[in-house]
Amino acid sequence: MSDKLKSEIRALRENSYIAHVGSVNEEGYPQMKAMMVLEHASIREHYFSTNTSSKRVVQFLKNPKASVYYCRHDEVWSGALFTGTMEVCTDRETKAKLWVEKAVLGEHTISSWDYYPKGIDDEDYCVLKFTAQTVNCYSGYEIAAFPIEDV
């Protein structure tokens, strides 16, 4: 894998504020949902917050297989598809790690309190922890697939 492609994968991960998260429904069909990216700490682990009562949480509890896709389409079309597993985290420590009072996402400011009025201890607030195993990347005319350890 080229250093250019590795850099593009890291840039997509670090500069995205929206990711497309894939799950598998009860009938075995893939489902996609755009979710806010609130952290960029690791290429292997990706965290998202959501409602504990959501359809997505039910799907991940039944089948943890997941994908996360980041893309950009400005001067160069690029995309990185991470494949792995999703864990639903309801412990206070993990929830506190991702909690933000307000998030600025592009032109929008979002308050976590609007979604979770009881804050970190809100029963309907949980964290999704995605652990990547592989990544497929397309950038310009270069395409590659490899284990996450190679990035």
CA distance 151 to 140: 18
CATH superfamily of 3-150: Electron Transport, Fmn-binding Protein; Chain A (2.30.110.10)
What is the chain's pLDDT, residue by residue, as a tens digit (151 residues)?
578 888 888 999 999 989 999 999 999 999 999 998 888 778 999 999 999 999 999 999 999 999 999 998 777 788 999 999 999 999 999 999 888 877 776 777 778 888 899 999 999 999 999 999 999 998 877 788 888 887 7
CA distance 6 to 19: 18
> Hey, where are the domains in the chain?
3-150
What's the confidence (pLDDT) of residue 1?
Answer: 59
CA distance 9 to 41: 14
For residue 2, report the phi and psi dihedrals to the nearest 5 degrees: -75, 155
CA distance 23 to 128: 12
What's the confidence (pLDDT) of residue 25?
Answer: 96
The amino acid at 72: R
Q: What angle (nearest 5°) sits at the alpha carbon of residue 125, between those of residues 123 and 131?
A: 130
Tokens 């991702």, residue located: 98
Of residues 62, 60, 73, the one with CA closest to residue 22: 60
Q: Convert the pLDDT of each residue in 52-64 to its tens digit.
A: 999 999 999 999 9
Q: What angle (nearest 5°) sits at the alpha carbon of residue 105, between those of residues 101 and 106?
A: 150
For residue 94, report the phi and psi dihedrals to the nearest 5 degrees: -70, -40
Burial class (CB in 10 A: 0-12, 13-18, 19+), 143: exposed
Sign of the alpha-carbon torsion through 70, 35, 22, 130: positive
